[in-house]
Amino acid sequence: MSRFIRAALLTAAASASLAACTTMTEEEPMTASTAAAPMSATPVAVSAPLIPREVLFGNPVKAGGQISPDGKWLSWMAPYNGTMNVYVAPVSDPTAAKRLTNITDRPPAGYFWAPDGKSVMYIRDKGGDENFLLYGVNVASGAETTLTPFEKTRVQLVGASTIQKDRVLIGLNNRDARYHDVHLLDLNTGKTTLVMKNDSYAGFLADNNLHLRMATRPNGQGGTDFFPIVNGKIADKPVESTTLDDALTVRPAGYTTDGKTLYWVDSRGRDTAALYAQDVATGKRTLIAEDARADLGGTLRNPVTGEVKAYSVNYLKNEWTALDPQVKASFDFLDSKLEGDWGFQSGTDDDAKWIVWNDPVTAPTASYIYDRKAGTLAPFYVSRPDLEGAALQPMHPREIRARDGLTLTSYLTLPPGSDSNADGVPDRPVPLVMVVHGGPWARDGYGFNPTHQWLANRGYAVMSVNFRGSTGFGKKFISAGDKLWRTAMQDDLADALGWAVQQGITTNDKAAIMGGSYGGYAVLANLAFYPDRFACGVDIVGPSNLETLLKTIPPYWVPIIRQFHDRMGNPNTPEGLAALKEMSPLYAADKIKKPLLIGQGANDPRVNKAESDQIVAAMQKANIPVTYVLFPDEGHGFAKPTNRIAFSAVTENFLAPCLGGRAEPIGDALTKSTAQIVTGGEHVKGLRAPPTAQTGG
């Protein structure tokens, strides 16, 4: 599969940068409940101007820059009538831009070039339901085609080719919502031809000739079985298998074009996942790269041969290592020209031209056109030019030791003017917001982070912690969180907060917690189970009842439900159901006593609206104040910029009286959005609830 197509369809956290790293000393960890606060944190007298919410959370001026496989066209996304659309321009004349799409209301989730360079393809859902359909737009004619014209269907890209450029393999679950059948899509005619009917497999792997070579299926050990496919027939027995321990750290990483080598990212027999090359004929594996600190992350492949030319490892920051001398020379050139971190964004089939992004962290990200043969680096665009000259703050990577000795890779951003000697510790303690990532099987990384910059600009220290269960740090670190959502995973957040108190960054009485998805669960769990730990909380699409969460997952997650049961609890067994209820904040909602703000998308397919409705109802029954904001046209998170801006407006005006920071007035942010104040508008300055608003069932 081509690099730019893969990148377009996967969610990328493309920000890592060069910065000093401070390792925690060897004293005993201090928890939030035991750390002694020398003084109460006081708001910083921030002299830097307020960065408007729209500048951070509105549409970028340009984003998603790519180059067509044949090197003839540049493309990017830019707003038109408030919605991001795809634009193209000839490489020979980047100023001759034309808008290629006419998208209104909801932006695409991603776009990519067809392998033949004749059309641009994009995926888009309806109202956040995550039933993504595939669309194609011919560059020459501008004609647009709905390539998967089905209802309640989620398309997957199974394979693309640098050889058969006028077709791709896609997966469609229009026959059975649980499983994706594989189809060959003809890009010239739009015709789909069934290649493989699927009644049990979670996914498929194709080679550069668009031949299916492998099928994957969960097994009874909580892991994955890998079945070879020969001449269109799936083998009866798997050729490779994993157990639960390796389920999230083993994956086939693609074939070389000649089909002789299969790359694996593999943790079997070790902790962190390493990169291996396997001889398909003999099964012999050769270790290519490893790192004891973190799993191997991405690879850079030769688009013609499919051979790995470089790999990355993301521990405190993302670091690339070149295996090919020519690629190393390119890396060295880019290192000499760009300040901060950079990364590969798109490239031509001949590998002669790259689009690279550059993240200085304290300046807006930018993209460049790199001509490898000519040795030139030309500016493409700055994503958010209004941030140029703003008081953007450095991000400090930190290693924090949990109470049982695990290392928690974390990131800290401080308010402007709070750290006069630039040592990563404020001159006096300041209020802090802990921002918890979702997943939980995901991770936080280093780089420009709009949430960090926004909250720091409002006067808060901002901390993101890779708690146990986060991915990227080896399989033991992931498994250390299994079935410990209420306890050890929250203890990690407490230990990180205790560390921040011990270091003089904040105090126990002036720390808030905020997060989305699993991060929203962490907010609810801390406020319900540990009601004195944080001063207030902001939950965004977080589950309150793990039993109902597992009952309402999307049907296409059915093939991997075993992993949820093994890592959370099985609701089909008495002990598993009891454990899920014990970890569910809903059943301790009456213990919440600190201010809580909840944001929810009505169409969320992952964390159903009922997850927010039921805890709000429970709090109201116990006469506990809560503010609940519902977006009727959103899903798992807020894709529309007007809605993102509206919720950030509510959030900063919610945090200000709790922590003492500053806030831009709400103004007309909500009237421009679809936000509905279901309840609790009186608890946030500038917020009013409509008289007819009611909580859901």
* 294-332 b/e (C-beta count within 10 Å ≥ 16 → b): bbbbbbbbbbeebbbbbbbbbbbbbbbebbeeebeebbe
DSSP letter assigned to residue 637: B
Cβ atoms within 10 A of the Cβ of 377, count? 18
Which alpha helices (H) appear in 536-634, and where do they start and end?
Answer: 546-551, 561-567, 574-582, 609-621
Nearest alpha-carbon partner for 197 in 215, 224, 185 = 215
C-alpha–C-alpha distance, residues 355 and 353, integer Å: 7
What is the arrangement of strands in the sheet containing 296-301, beginning at the earlier edge strand?
A: 296-301, 308-314, 318-322
517 is catalytic: yes
Catalytic residue from among 517, 612, 648, 673: 517
C-alpha–C-alpha distance, residues 5 and 111, integer Å: 8
Reported as half-sphere exposure (CB side, CA atoms, 13 A), residue 500 has a value of 36
Catalytic residue from among 125, 245, 341, 604: 604
- Three-state DSSP at 89 gives strand
C-alpha–C-alpha distance, residues 415 and 505, integer Å: 11
Cβ atoms of 17 and 359 within 8 Å: the answer is yes
Beta strands in 34-92 (DSSP E): 63-67, 73-80, 83-90
Helix and strand tally (H, E) in the chain?
12, 38
Here the tokens at position 393 are 């703050």
Cα dihedral sign for 452, 655, 515, 25?
Answer: positive
Q: What single-letter amino acid sits at 132?
A: F
C-alpha–C-alpha distance, residues 523 and 543, integer Å: 10
Cβ atoms of 139 and 99 within 8 Å: the answer is no
- Three-state DSSP at 50 gives coil
Cβ atoms of 662 and 656 within 8 Å: the answer is yes
Catalytic residue from among 161, 444, 636, 673: 636
180 is catalytic: no
C-alpha–C-alpha distance, residues 157 and 320, integer Å: 26
Cβ atoms of 25 and 134 within 8 Å: the answer is no
Please provide the size of the chain in residues: 697
Here the tokens at position 284 are 């012999």
Cβ atoms within 10 A of the Cβ of 199, count? 9
**Annotated active-site positions, please?**
517, 604, 636
